[in-house]
Structures are given as structure tokens and as C-alpha cells.
Amino acid sequence: MVLRQNILITGASSGLGEGMARQFAARGRNLALCARRTERLEKLAAELTAAHPGIKVVTRTLDVTEHDRVFAVFEEFRAELGSLDRVIVNAGLGKGQRVGTGRFDANRQTLEVNFVAAAAQIEAATGIFREQGAGHLAVISSFSALRPFPGKLTAYAASKAGISAYVDGTRIELKRKGIAVTDVLPGYIESEMNDRIGRNPFLAKAETGARALVKAIEAERARAYVPAWPWVPLSVVMRVVPAALLRKFFA
């Protein structure tokens, strides 16, 4: 396994991004963290460097929908750390609404953040990796990418299906360039985005989920379901579940 020392994580001020940052810091990795909420980001960086004095943590404010800024920030991080060994495209949004109910604004924003902005991050990261001749791209998609979903999940699932396809194409493109590409499909993990779920037997604790994410990313496989249980077996089931059942539980 290749040691990826300098790791960039977008959307790192809370949720899965924060959890992964804590896990990688405990493993002695240097971190480049970016998010919109600067105060939370800087607080996290201070905590990590205090707990792990041997690592370097650098931060930038970044709204990933500002595409030119994405490219600039990634280059700044590379200059500050000397290289970027792994980029984790994590920033995402889950505010979709039912189609045709007058909330195209929410659905458009979900699609723009989860697909277009993610594609910009992929472009920025792989451009740097091509120049370096090495690197690992990990994109946090979602288990919902496997099937179309009704109700408030329609735009979200579509955005994740789209970005997973984009990641798969990127992997094929870069296979012989010394660049590893991983599509990460988490199930339910405690986070601000999943606060509205309520009681769910499949909801993993935040720390458990973060550990599973980091383990999967470190393995650098083409695709990873996280946590492996129950999402690996459910990935098989999901492909054959009748649409009527999806409508019953999610519409």
C-alpha cells in the first residue's frame, strides 16, 4: 500500500469530512482542509495540531460552487505542503425536494453541488496528479447512487449516480497514469445531513463511520461500500428491489 502523506479533504468543517480529518490526523498525515465555515475549520485545525504535534494542517475557506476558486485553492495547498498525495472530494448537499412542487431551486442546488462542483474538484485534483505522475482521488458518492429514488431523494440520488459514473470514467482514463481512483458509497452515517433520518437500524455512529471511510479509502479499491456491513450485501439487494417498494418507503 502506498503511503499518502499529504491529504486534501473538502467539506471538512463537519460531518464525514471532519471525521475523516480526525482519523487521518491520528495516523500522522498532513492535512489540507477546506470548507465554507472558516471558524469551525480553524478550530478543528487547532485541535488536530495540538493532539498530534508532528503533523501539519493547513486550511482555506472554499465554496466548491466557485469553480475557479477550487482550482486556485488546490494549487495553494500543493504549494504549501509540497505535494498532494490524496484528494478526497467530500463536500456535498442533501436538500432536494419533490419534483414538480415548486422547489427547483433546492433540486438545482443539490445537483450543482453534488455533480458540477464535484466534477470541478475532480478536474483540479487530477490535473495536479497528472503533473506529479501520482496520486489518489477518492470521491464520496452515496449508496443512493445505485438506484433512482422517489420523493425528496430524487435529485440527490441522481446527482450521486451522475458523479459515480463520472468517477468510473475518470478511473478508466487515468488507469495507466499512476493515479488511483476510488468511488466511495457510504450508507447511513451520523452527520448533519442525516440528522433528519431519525431512528434507523442501519445508521452508523459518526466515529464508526469515519473509521470505516478511512479504512476503505486507504485500501484504494475502485469502489467501496461503507461501512461494509450491511451495505455490501444490501448493494446486491438494491439492484433487484422493485420500484414499487422504493415508492412505498421513500415517496
We find that the CATH architecture of domain 6-250 is 3-Layer(aba) Sandwich (3.40)
Mean pLDDT in the chain?
92
Residues 156, 142: Cα–Cα separation, whole Å: 9
H helix count then E strand count, the chain: 9, 7
Pick 41 or 239 by higher pLDDT. 41
51-55, 133-137, 241-245: which range is least confident on average?
241-245
Residue 2 has pLDDT above 90, yes or no: no
Q: Which pLDDT band holds residue 194 (cuts at 50, 70, 90)?
A: low
Distance between terminal CA atoms of the chain?
A: 43
Residues 134, 147: Cα–Cα separation, whole Å: 33
Residue 195 has pLDDT above 70, yes or no: no
Residues 19, 213: Cα–Cα separation, whole Å: 9
pLDDT of residue 234: 86
Does the pTM surpass 0.75? The reply is: yes
Marked catalytic residue, from 156, 166, 188, 225: 156
Whether 166 is catalytic is no
Q: Which pLDDT band holds residue 202 (cuts at 50, 70, 90)?
A: confident
Domain ranges of the chain: 6-250
pLDDT of residue 250: 66
Q: Which pLDDT band holds residue 199 (cuts at 50, 70, 90)?
A: low
Cβ atoms within 10 A of the Cβ of 44, count? 24
Residue 149 has pLDDT above 60, yes or no: yes
